[in-house]
A and B are shown apart, each in its own frame.
Chain A
């Protein structure tokens, strides 16, 4: 009995969080299979096969899997799951969409957002926006879980590629039809896996002024994040949102600028290694968790910081 990891990808490249999931999966069982489902995604399977510790990659390549929709993805995974002890997917919108459907079809429970594997049936996950940690024991024979990638280190060494096995599976037509994607294109690092994240909040006042955050991020080679207030005010698209209802990040450095630090936002970033807060309100809750705080006008501090960082680079 081994563990199965569902690989998130865009048919072109594997989401790097797969490397964090491999670490988690190896804590449950030393034998590990990665499943790549999609269309014309051989390249993804090759990337997956090179991760150190992976025993086999199973590839299902079918045009009806191009958009990896929950209905047919879950049917496919269910048809493979019975020979595994555990099935893991990232706790991203991809994994959250598909995996509970798999669990219900198998008539087993799921644990979401696992942050620690105690043993092969006991897991920890945050509840109440990260204000409590629940330890649960899964009683079913197949353990289904989504993994919070930032809670596990990424496997960063590679191996000689393991075997890629093409599975000849019939894939049913999907009852849902894909219409379109509207993706926010960015040259910056991916928010969920970036080493440095610079986030702006309502204090930025406008989309125009939010550019100050982007300039600082570029000076640091960082990803850009935002609070819900900044998203709702239309400063940035919603996939920038960090928090309980957005993305959960844990970079080495998180800079919260013009963000008060509501519980909902803290849930998404309080596991960052070093937190810096820049805010004009010295009583803002963000200062209660920040390692370094600067009280003052962000419209003066941020440009100065950007300029001095650029200067020290050159």
Chain B
């Protein structure tokens, strides 16, 4: 079977983001970028399925400008077979991203699409569900375990009260949670090899999509900040403060 993995280039999770002074977004100039951590988990899961001889081909896809090639090369270095860049300078809302990926799914005809449950920049947690809706495929979101059994997958999902297990027929969409697996590191020989793996670049405009604007970002601001309070010296003092100063204990 063939697996399509959607990946996104985002600000590295360990970078402290700064809001731009004109309030149009956050600073991305000269900032370290990485593959979205949830997507790395999706790639890892696809690779493990190929190593178990369940998957035959793993294709990584991303939407973005030329710099996003770096994210695809990383997916190739981890072990993806080939990669597709859908080139655009513009950024899109989740619905339009799902529409672009829908085109890719029609073109590539994968049995399974793996994606991260959310990107750590927009924190939307929407695209996998939206893609599943557009394709009318079943969805298994927030997956912490994925078992493939012939044409059926069994997925354990992380839900608020604990875990839930679902079974569904492929083709299907699975979005990965953090606990699905521990992603591997790309070794130097594999990074070298990745440079020779196929990476197709497609202009978004060539897909013939009519993407209308659904959301306007009016402003991005810094959250109200919290400042450090006081350090106390004893448990008695803490109980006293909580009771009589903060009044949060009876």
Contacts from A to B (Cβ < 8 Å): 67, 69-71, 74, 92-94, 96-105, 107-113, 122, 126-140, 175-184, 192, 196, 220, 228, 232, 237-239, 244-245, 247, 252-253, 263-264, 270, 273-276, 282, 287-295, 301, 304-305, 308-309, 312
Determine whether the beta carbon of B215 is less than 8 Å from that of A287: no
Q: A71-B139, A177-B168 are in contact. List 8 more A-B contacts (CB 8 A).
A: A104-B133, A108-B95, A109-B215, A138-B214, A176-B138, A287-B228, A292-B231, A308-B235
Determine whether the beta carbon of A292 is less than 8 Å from that of B220: no
Surface stretch bound by A, among B83-91, B154-162, B183-191, B200-208: B154-162
Given contacts A291-B246, A292-B230, contact A301 B235 (CB under 8 A): yes
Q: Chain B CB within 10 Å — which of A69, A97, A220 has the most?
A: A97
Q: Is B54 an interface residue (CB 8 A)?
A: no
Determine whether the beta carbon of A294 is less than 8 Å from that of B235: yes
Contact with A along B202-239 (1 / 0, CB 8 A): 00000000000111111111110011111111111011
Q: Is B72 an interface residue (CB 8 A)?
A: no
C-alpha gap A263/B16 in the complex (Å): 8
Determine whether the beta carbon of A100 is less than 8 Å from that of B123: no
Determine whether the beta carbon of A127 is less than 8 Å from that of B220: yes
Determine whether the beta carbon of A239 is less than 8 Å from that of B162: yes
C-alpha gap A101/B94 in the complex (Å): 11
Closest to A130 in B: B223
C-alpha gap A267/B232 in the complex (Å): 25
Determine whether the beta carbon of B154 is less than 8 Å from that of A274: no
Contact of B19 among A132, A140, A228 (CB under 8 A): A132
9 residue pairs A–B, Cβ–Cβ below 8 Å: A100-B126, A108-B214, A112-B126, A130-B223, A137-B218, A139-B216, A175-B137, A175-B169, A176-B166
The residues of A that contact B193 with a CB separation of less than 8 Å are none
Determine whether the beta carbon of A126 is less than 8 Å from that of B126: no
The residues of B that contact A100 with a CB separation of less than 8 Å are 94, 125-130, 133
Instruction: List CB contacts (< 8 Å) of B2-44 with chain A.
Output: 11, 13, 16-17, 19, 26
Determine whether the beta carbon of B230 is less than 8 Å from that of A293: yes
Determine whether the beta carbon of B165 is less than 8 Å from that of A239: no
Determine whether the beta carbon of B126 is less than 8 Å from that of A103: yes
Size category, B interface: 35 or more
The residues of B that contact A295 with a CB separation of less than 8 Å are 231
Determine whether the beta carbon of A104 is less than 8 Å from that of B17: no
Min Cβ gap B10→A in Å is 9
The residues of B that contact A238 with a CB separation of less than 8 Å are 144, 158, 179
> Closest 3 CB pairs between A and B?
A109-B214, A104-B133, A100-B129
Contact of A132 among B26, B159, B164 (CB under 8 A): B26
Q: Is B134 an interface residue (CB 8 A)?
A: yes
Determine whether the beta carbon of B160 is less than 8 Å from that of A97: no
The residues of B that contact A294 with a CB separation of less than 8 Å are 231-235, 238
Determine whether the beta carbon of A104 is less than 8 Å from that of B130: yes
The residues of A that contact B217 with a CB separation of less than 8 Å are 134-136
Contact with A along B99-137 (1 / 0, CB 8 A): 000000000000000000000111111111111111001
The residues of B that contact A137 with a CB separation of less than 8 Å are 215-216, 218
Determine whether the beta carbon of B121 is less than 8 Å from that of A127: yes
The residues of B that contact A291 with a CB separation of less than 8 Å are 229-230, 246
Min Cβ gap A293→B in Å is 4
Contact of B248 among A67, A108, A274 (CB under 8 A): A274
The residues of A that contact B142 with a CB separation of less than 8 Å are 93, 96-97
C-alpha gap A198/B224 in the complex (Å): 24
